[in-house]
Amino acid sequence: MDIILNSLQYTIPSIVVMLTAYLLIKQFIDKESRQQKQALLLNNQKLTTPIKLQAYERMVLLLERISPENLLVRVHAPGIIAKDFKIMLLKNIRSEFDHNLSQQIYIGYETWEVIKLAKENMVKLVNVAGSNINPSAKASDLSKLILEMYIKVDAPPLKVALDKLKKEFSDNFN
């Protein structure tokens, strides 16, 4: 019995010291790990913030460039017929969108979906206007029809997308 008590007398303090050392070391390692993760996150933010800002700028530019008032003036070519002008408009919209496709990884999913919908609605508007006019009519007649149809829309998808983009930007950077 003396041997057991003697063994416990040395073993119990050793176990307590070992557990205390384990807990202190574990706490230290966890703290260091959190600090490293935080430093990495901060460094990543320094790198990605300018890229995200540029993505928001490019999405605003996309929406502005495919808006009828800007698109029709920029793509207009004197002496062209409506059929060819429609093709040029659609090609330009798709080109603008494709050029900015990679930016979707820097903006929210819902915002990207609204932007895609705005682009698709603009394509639809051009197609509907193009089908409602004589293909050999002047490009200016098609432009006029597109603007008239766009003005009649209660909540233009391009404006909705731009508002959504601005709100997301404000939520993330203000």
- Mean pLDDT value across residues 32-53: 87
Residue closest to 111 by CA, chosen among 77, 60, 76, 67: 60
Mean pLDDT, range 104-118, rounded to an integer: 96
121 CB burial (10 A radius; 0-12, 13-18, 19+): middle
Q: Is the pTM of this model over 0.95?
A: no
State residue 39's pLDDT score. 85
pLDDT-based confidence at residue 74 (cuts at 50, 70, 90): very high
**pLDDT computed for residue 116 by the predictor:** 97
Give the pLDDT score at 5: 74
41 pLDDT higher than 90? no
Which string of DSSP letters, residue by residue, matches 115-170?
HHHHHHHHHHHHHHHHHTS-TTSBHHHHHHHHHHHHHH-SS-HHHHHHHHHHHHHH
Give pLDDT, residue 115: 97
**Does residue 13 register a pLDDT over 90?**
no
Residue 15: φ, ψ to 5°: -65, -45
Kindly tell me if the per-residue pLDDT of 46 is higher than 90. Answer: no
**Inter-residue contact 54 to 105 (CB < 8 Å):** no
- φ, ψ of residue 84 to 5 degrees: the values are -70, -35
* Mean pLDDT, the chain, integer: 92
Residue 84 pLDDT > 90, yes or no? yes
Q: Are 136 and 79 in contact (CB under 8 A)?
A: no
